[in-house]
Each structure stands twice: as C-alpha cells, then as structure tokens.
Amino acid sequence: MATITFDDVTRLFSSSSRPAVDALNLHIEDGEFLVLVGPSGCGKSTSLRMLAGLEPVDSGRILIDDQDVTGVDPKDRDIAMVFQNYALYPHMTVAENMGFALRLAGTDKAQIAERVAKAAEILDLSPYLDRKPKALSGGQRQRVAMGRAIVRQPRVFLMDEPLSNLDAKLRVQTRTQIAQLQRRLGTTTVYVTHDQVEAMTMGDRVAVLSDGVLQQCASPRELYRSPANAFVAGFIGSPSMNLLTLPIEPENVIAVGPQWLRVPVDRLADPPHGDSRRREVQLGIRPEHIEVGVADGVPVDVDVVEELGAEAFVYGRAHLANGAHPIVARVDWRHPPEKGARVHIAVDMEHAFLFDPTDGTRLR
C-alpha cells in the first residue's frame, strides 16, 4: 500500500495551447479509494497515465510513498492498471492471463499458481480458470483483468473506466464488487470515470476536474451538500442541480415568485468592463428541494415526466420575472402530473445556493 501525491503536475500537449492537466495538486492517503471524475477531455485519464508513467510530466512531481517517481519507468513503479478494454490475450486461458505478468517477472510456478487461485477465489473465477476469454461474458472478462492486477500485489491499483463496456445492470453490480474488493484488499486505488453516479457510489473521496483544473476534492456527501462552485454543483447529482440566472433586485435580493433571498453582492467578482452580469446571480437548487403543487407558487409548464418506480421527476419551464428557465423537480411518484400540464412550485430557500455568474464561485 502507498500514499500518492501530485505536486503541481502539468501536462501540455503540443497540439493544444491549454494544458491537459494544469498544476494538479492532490494527495491520496494510504489505502484510499479515490475517484477522478469529469466530462470528456477534462484531464482525468491523462492524470492517471502520468501516475502510471505512460505519459510524461511537463512540470511538477509525482510521488508514491514520498518517493519521486516522475522519471521512473512504469515497470518500476509497483503499480497495476486495469484498462477500459481489459487487454486480455485471446490465446491464453484465464489462469494464464492472470499469471502472465508474474511469469514475465520470473516468479516461481508454484507461487504463480497459488496467487492465481487465491485471486480467482476472491473474484468468483475459480470455475473459469481453464477457459479462454472468448468463452466469458463481459463482466467475467472484467474480473479477469482485475485478477491480473491483484496477483501482482502492487502498491497501487489504477483503473481507467473499467466498466464502460458493460451494460447498465452489470455495471451497477460490478461497481459494487470492485468497491467491496478494494476495501477487502486495502490497496490504494485511483479510479477514473466520466459517470458521476459511479464516482459517488464508489469513492472514499471524489476529485472533480474540468478543463484540466481540479475543481474540488471531497467525500461524495460533501460534494453534494457543499459544492465549491457552479460546475461541481451542476455536475454532481442525478438529475443535476437547477441553475437559474436571476436579476438582483433593489435591496440586493433575488425573487423566485413570492419568495426572495438576499445576495451578498460584496462577494461578487467584478465582471469584464461593461458586462451586465454585475446585477445578476445564479441560484442553485436541487430537484428534491422544490415543492410542486403550491397554490401561489411559480408556474411551470411540464414538458417531460420521468417515472422511475420509487421516484418521479418533471422537466419543464419555470416562468420567472426575467423569462422562462428550464427546471427539473422531484414529484410524488404515486401521483405525478401529466405531460403538458401547468403546475406551481416553491423553492426551499434554506437549501438554495448562490453562485457568481462571472466565475462560478459559490457565494458563502
């Protein structure tokens, strides 16, 4: 097991004027399961590949157990990586695939067999050790790739979107297995995904990246309850947080129908010269903090109704003083409104967030 530190790490590709990873500072504790999450092109896979030694570092340092490994070859970093495509050898059996790296390292055959058998038992692969990859399901192949990493007994596991090739049901099942396995082994793990639900359900902490910049790193609960900025607020949560840009009224308040909220205007950043956003602010409210069916509330025209069994959500347009705003609200799954209906809503202002429209910073 090991600690990992990204110390002001930057990666700049020659084809781009903007760093793929920009001055990343991140510390991962011994035995921690950390998830890197963000949209495509945010720098999460590049960060993982730099940690693995598959991508050079243009500036900064990467440390494993306080040892600078920035210029160390991948084979000497004592890490094991699980890729998106599993990368199994089709002509080898499951057992041969799992023990291949050990065989290359000259490990004794008896020890290889022992480690493979133990990993297969952990992953419920014992009945399949003599099969070839083509005879396995997608989930089983993914577990073989995991087993190949486990038998090496590395200090660090790196996983680059290992579930993206699985169907939805199997993905849910397998992510639970991976989280349980990591807790059982206690190996420091860095996991990359673009799926924020996957990130929230698996990680001890989640690091959110956007355009190569770390936006926030915290526990899933803290990210949800206390996002650092509008990007994190909008990215974390399913459905995502409603973000409404509203004008600041006299006496520094914003109005949502008959409701109002005071704005700390002294904390707003100065926008570019002549930008009218100085008198606007973003209101953030999650779907579960909107009450539907309020007599004197804000009118909302319902466009789509999503019924998900024990939950239901309506997507529509809220008619506020400065125009119509897209909005999603959680409703009673037993009696959801009809598509095309007009409902009235109220916002739970105690759970509202305010963000600066210029730079997205949360106004605390």
Nearest partner of 1 among 190, 163, 162, 217, judged by Cα: 190
High-pLDDT (> 70) share of the chain, % = 98
Query: What pLDDT band is residue 158 in, cutting at 50, 70 and 90?
Result: very high
pLDDT of residue 220: 95
Chain centroid to CA 71: how far? 28
Six-digit token string for 283? 């209101």
Q: Give per-residue pLDDT as tens, 301-328.
A: 999 999 998 899 999 999 998 889 999 9
Q: Give per-residue pLDDT as tens, 237-259.
A: 989 999 999 999 888 899 998 89
The number of domains in the chain is 2
Same structural domain, 25 and 95: yes
Same structural domain, 214 and 246: no
Same structural domain, 196 and 50: yes
Contacts of 323 (CB under 8 A, 6+ apart): none
Same structural domain, 179 and 225: yes
Cβ density class 242-259: b for 16+ within 10 Å, e for less: bbbbbebeeeeebbbbeb
**DSSP output for 151-214:** HT--SEEEEESTTTTS-HHHHHHHHHHHHHHHHHH--EEEEEES-HHHHHHH-SEEEEEETTEE
Q: Give per-residue pLDDT as tens, 262-289.
A: 998 888 877 665 555 568 999 999 999 9
Using the predicted structure, report yes or no on whether residue 206 has a pLDDT greater than 70.
Answer: yes
Q: Write down which residue in 230, 261, 282 finishes a domain.
A: 230
Same structural domain, 222 and 268: no
pLDDT of residue 315: 97
Q: Write down which residue in 210, 230, 250 finishes a domain.
A: 230
**363 domain residue, yes or no:** no
Q: Which amino acid is at 183?
A: R
Q: What is the CATH number of the domain that holds 141?
A: 3.40.50.300
Residue corresponding to tokens 């660090």: 156
Cβ pair 85, 165 in contact under 8 A: yes
Cβ pair 220, 33 in contact under 8 A: no
Six-digit token string for 207? 């690091």
Same structural domain, 202 and 254: no
pLDDT of residue 275: 59
Same structural domain, 137 and 245: no
Six-digit token string for 340? 């095309």
Cβ pair 21, 10 in contact under 8 A: yes
**DSSP output for 298-358:** EEEEEEEEEE-SS-EEEEEEEEETTEEEEEEEEE-TTSPPPTT-EEEEEE-GGG-EEE-TT
Same structural domain, 149 and 246: no
Which range marks the domain in which residue 321 is found? 239-355
Max distance between CA atoms of the chain, in angstroms, equals: 79
Q: Give per-residue pLDDT as tens, 168-192.
A: 888 888 888 888 889 988 999 999 9
Same structural domain, 202 and 55: yes
Cβ pair 351, 226 in contact under 8 A: no
**360 domain residue, yes or no:** no
**364 domain residue, yes or no:** no
Same structural domain, 136 and 32: yes
Same structural domain, 155 and 76: yes
Three-class DSSP category at 7: strand
Using the predicted structure, report yes or no on whether residue 84 has a pLDDT greater than 90.
Answer: no
Nearest partner of 229 among 84, 361, 51, judged by Cα: 361
Same structural domain, 112 and 213: yes
Q: Write down which residue in 230, 261, 295 finishes a domain.
A: 230
Residue 243 CA to residue 31 CA, distance in Å, equals 36
Q: What is the CATH number of the domain that holds 269?
A: 2.40.50.140
**274 domain residue, yes or no:** yes
Kind plus residue range of the DSSP H or E element containing 28? strand 21-28
**141 domain residue, yes or no:** yes
pLDDT of residue 278: 60
Highest averaged pLDDT of the listed ranges 13-17, 21-25, 71-75, 173-177? 21-25
Residue corresponding to tokens 């999450």: 37
Six-digit token string for 308? 């998900």
**362 domain residue, yes or no:** no
